[in-house]
Structure 1
Amino acid sequence: MTQAPPAPGRRKLLVGGLAAGVAAAAGYFGLRHRPGHGDLARHGHRFVKPLRIPGKSARLGEASDAADAGIVLQTGIHPQPLREGALSDVWAYAQRTVSGQVQLNPTLFARSGGRLKVTLENRLGDDTTIHWHGMTVDEANDGSGLHPVRHGERRVYEFDIRNRAGLYWYHAHPHGQTGMQVHKGLAGLVVVEDDEELALQKALGLTWGIDDIALSIADKQFGLRNKIVHEVGADDWVGDKVLVNWTPDPVFEARRGWLRLRLANTSNARLYCIGFDDEHRQRLPFHLLGTDGGLLDRAHRMESVFLGPGQRVDVLLDLRDRSPGDLLMMRSVVYDPMENDVGIGPPEDFAMEHPGAMPMGEDMALMLIRMSDKPGGAAGTLPERLSTHAVGIREDAARRPFRLWIQDSGRWMINHWNHHLAHGQDVFEIRRGSVERWDITNDMRSMPHPMHLHGFQFVVTGRANSPKQVAERAIDPRGRTPHDLGVLDTVLVWPGETVSIQIDFSQPYSGRQRYMFHCHNLEHEDQGMMIGFAVID
């Protein structure tokens, strides 16, 4: 039975507990910032498990919208070997192949302009859904908590793919239990392709699964006998182990040439700052090719990029001059987490709630990349122009302000709204076909919030009062970073900052269509940092 909405709460980083947590986390994540020669050679020995690659792993499958009968996914609990010792109880969307093999959370492939049909069979024992994160859909296919699928029921999601090519994802979204169900495993990737995307693959000489890889990055909290644990009612649930495509301490064998990594942050609450280092802790620059909703108009050279929960980035590494045996580390580099809300709400002990977990903002090794001696790497040319993506800024767009703040009780709010206090009702209406500018202001007494919009994509039109670590990345007078120049469905708003986004509410669906706008820190969402709105004729 679905549990009642949890009481709000905020964790407290007690000095003694924090020190113990950091010490324990060092054993799990290693590779703290130790500059100097041989860093990877000394500590990279933990990274020995081959990265699980969708379609090339017995557990991570693939499925296509070309299937005549559609795709059938059945929720359930599947014991998996994630760490030494007992099997972990992974909650998953499982598909059975023609040969009878069961594959979990398959990566789905679809063509822009095509049609996706997925049948959900709920055998989980509780309400669940499939939310198509980032996809332009009607309310009935959005998969939010407005339309739960009961245990024992079937639900068919079927819709036209109206999105540009890009990396999207699907995950559970039942009211009050999204954090628990996603943390335990109910999430998978969606790859949408179009002509511009295929042209880029051809120009670079990329081969899917060899030098073009999709990565789902999620930290999990493990308890006794390797059980994946989540506490309903907790806040900012982070884990003691980061899994990349469900692989702990992964190593990827890369060929000499271009390496494209499509990264999705499928964690509940952890924010990463993605960077790449060599054996000497020298930062390896990369090209940012795209964001949530597909390719940028051109590539941008960067050394690190923030990746909030729910967000995706498409990056390209130049490994053409690397030699067999060379080592690189994909990591989350040090940043200021700006958790300015500490001290609000009931006290909680980070080290007790998340034993062994690395605090937010610390240096974390995520995946070892080892150069192999196999020939045939991608040796093409990076085009100057990647796509025709260009969205003009409408200065006449109607403006709608939002304030992100926290009550003294620890309850997160959007303006004066909270989903539970509003009893799940829509709090405003928008005329179909209108264009609006939303100005999202985050209180200084707050933390970074990844704000996600259902059913529509948007563009960032500006940032104001950004913290130094964001402002120094700005590349235009509007304060936008390269990441802001793409099509997005989730945007990170830092304490004290105002981010403006432009949304076109045109859609082919008639009648009242209801959607959600919420923080993609999933515990914040479950606590009610979410509002409903309706698009009307």
Structure 2
Amino acid sequence: MRVSRRTLLALLGGAGASAAVGVPLLAGLSGSTSTGALLPSLMPLPQPFTLPFRVPPVLAPTRRDAAGDHYEIVQRAATAEILPGVLTPIWGYNGIFPGPTIVSTRGRPTTVTHRNELPVPVVVHLHGGHTPAAHDGFPADLLHPAGTPAGPHDHRHAATPAYGTRTYRYPVRQPAATLWYHDHRMDFTGPAVWRGLAGFHLVRDPAEDRLGLPAGDRDLPVMIADRAFAADGSLRYPSLDPALLHTPGVTGPYGAGVLGDVLLVNGVPWPLAEVPAVRHRLRLLNASNARRYRLSLDPAPRGGPALTQIGTDGGLLTEPIAHDAVELAPGQRCDVVVDFARYGPGREVTLRNEFGDRSTAAVMRFRVGGAAPDPSRIPDRLAPDPVVAPGPAATVRTLRFRHDTVRGMPGWTVNGAPFDPAHSIADPLLGDTEVWRLVSDFHHPVHLHLGHFRVLSRGIGGPGPYDHGPRDTIDLRPAEQATIAVSFTDYPGRYVLHCHNLEHEDMAMMSVFTTRAAGR
């Protein structure tokens, strides 16, 4: 790997500040590492590939009517047997991790009423959702615990504070896609998600159903999340305030990001999935706080690349793309099809993380069974591109993501400013497509609420091999500039963009943008 003098000087210029938060200076320039520090587990870990793969349960609606499908979820403390024979305290949607999967149909509204029985306020964000501002999960729109009296709480920046319960309304006016929902409370997203507040929300579409892609029990959600365990089996996380009530942030070097040494798939450490020798759709989600993954199959099948990518954050690609491996930054999704018929019966195939080592080098394993009827196919054309190309007069904005000092302590900023819920960094018009230039110092997976975007370039080149399709999160690499085209439609109001390294987000790397109708 060759490093330019300009890149080296730019990184060394931030050496003192980065050392304070444990950021590796030159690691990752090739795109092969994560920004963060390893938090090791303090108890013996299970042998990989001894526990069965499981799919999170699909939540049944409490009712269906002309207004749509209605769901209820209780956020509460519970225990889960994540490691064999060990009960681990978690915070869970309906008391489980991952939370139950919600399945919506395009064009049919979904409402989800959350009841908060946790000891702290919460916020729910439908990640990837095309959602009105009041229901998007703005970080200051707190849902206080049940039994909390309305009174002297800080609502200076909340549009709609709530107590006990809140109903989120999703119009589902968007194509089929792999979405997920998670906590988004200002300053405390990282520890809340680490404790278990995350789940799938899948959008179906009759147009996608007609394509003939693998479906039913051959359509597998795969939530990958790294964690660390304390000696008593609890989840280990370096919060400055373990109660998550007053002081945000993490200790020591972990402000760069918290990396665990246990890889969980749908809440199971290194599981084993029994699969027939047919095509399967894997809905890969990186739900880790800071860890990046490069996923491949070992052994690779004969006859060409192992993974056929069909979808990304915002839905289907226009056409399939073959890969030997795919890369996922925190928050990103990638839908791939794997044809296990290319392996012999009884063959064991490992999903590997080429960015990991030791316990983080393998994710899960598949054991291939016998042949079975397979009516699925992968068509040459999948879906139209939903992102409009920018015109010659498109508004151009530059956003810089970098390590900085925030209120006298190490933190992360956008354009030199920490998160301020009352200040809007941009005010795009609905119906417009803008060009945004994103500039980084270290790894920053930049996530945009409301709008999906198209990656136009990286540096002086075009999009990278994993940049195709409608995105809501881009893996911005160290000392890199990327350009995206983003369209805003339908909903006026206040939204956020932020780094989806959750420790960076909690330490102020987030900004508000406000969409507005023309003439207002």
Which TM class, normalised by the smaller chain length?
A: 0.7 to 0.9
**Contact 2:496–2:512 at 8 Å: present in 1 too?**
yes
User: Relative contact order, CA 8 A, sep 6+: which one is greater?
Assistant: 1
Aligned 1:293-442 pairs, distance under 5 A: 293-334=314-355, 364-373=361-370, 375-389=371-385, 391-396=387-392, 397-407=394-404, 410-419=410-419, 422=420, 424-442=422-440
Kindly indicate whether residue 486 of structure 2 is the aligned counterpart of residue 486 of structure 1.
Answer: no
Query: RMSD over aligned Cα, in angstroms?
Result: 3.0
Structure 1 unpaired stretches of 5+: 1-7, 15-20, 31-44, 56-60, 96-101, 336-357, 466-477
Q: 1:368 to 1:436 in 2, by over 3 A?
A: same
**Contact 2:300–2:306 at 8 Å: present in 1 too?**
no
Q: Return the TM-score normalized by structure 1.
A: 0.78
**Contact 2:97–2:197 at 8 Å: present in 1 too?**
no
How far the C-alpha of 1:24 sits from its partner, in A, is 7.4
Aligned with 1:484: secondary structure?
coil
How far the C-alpha of 1:425 sits from its partner, in A, is 2.8
Aligned 1:25-40 pairs, distance under 5 A: none
Query: 1:165 is matched with which residue?
Result: 176
* Pairing partner for 2:205 from 190, 194, 218: 194
**Contact 2:97–2:199 at 8 Å: present in 1 too?**
no
Query: 2:449 is matched with which residue?
Result: 454
Q: Number of residue pairs matched? A: 450
Larger CA deviation: 64-73 vs 245-254: 64-73
Q: 1:391 to 1:177 in 2, by over 3 A?
A: closer
Partners of 1:460 and 1:65 lie apart in 2 by 40
**Alpha-carbon displacement from aligned partner over 1:66-107 (angstroms, at most 9, x marks no partner):** 745711100111111111343001211118xxxxxx896111
Partners of 2:331 and 2:39 lie apart in 1 by 29
**Contact 1:54–1:62 at 8 Å: present in 2 too?**
no
Query: 1:50 is matched with which residue?
Result: 52
Query: 1:208 is matched with which residue?
Result: 216
**Alpha-carbon displacement from aligned partner over 1:256-286 (angstroms, at most 9, x marks no partner):** 1212100111111111111111289999521
**Contact 1:221–1:239 at 8 Å: present in 2 too?**
yes
Q: 1:140 to 1:365 in 2, by over 3 A?
A: same
Query: 1:227 is matched with which residue?
Result: 234
Q: 1:291 to 1:13 in 2, by over 3 A?
A: closer
Q: 1:179 to 1:24 in 2, by over 3 A?
A: closer
Of all paired residues, the percent bearing the same amino acid is: 31
How far the C-alpha of 1:12 sits from its partner, in A, is 6.1
Matched to 1:125, the amino acid is P
**Contact 1:129–1:148 at 8 Å: present in 2 too?**
yes
Partners of 2:348 and 2:302 lie apart in 1 by 11
Q: 1:519 to 1:85 in 2, by over 3 A?
A: same
* Pairing partner for 1:238 from 253, 259, 265: 259
Matched to 1:385, the amino acid is R
Structure 2 unpaired stretches of 5+: 1-18, 26-36, 147-163, 240-248
Partners of 1:266 and 1:80 lie apart in 2 by 18
Aligned 1:275-286 pairs, distance under 5 A: 275-278=296-299, 285-286=306-307
Kindly indicate whether residue 514 of structure 2 is the aligned counterpart of residue 534 of structure 1.
Answer: yes
Aligned 1:39-118 pairs, distance under 5 A: 46-55=48-57, 61-63=58-60, 67-68=64-65, 70-94=70-94, 105-118=99-112
Aligned with 1:455: secondary structure?
coil
Aligned 1:111-150 pairs, distance under 5 A: 111-150=105-144
Q: 1:24 to 1:292 in 2, by over 3 A?
A: closer
**Contact 1:257–1:379 at 8 Å: present in 2 too?**
no
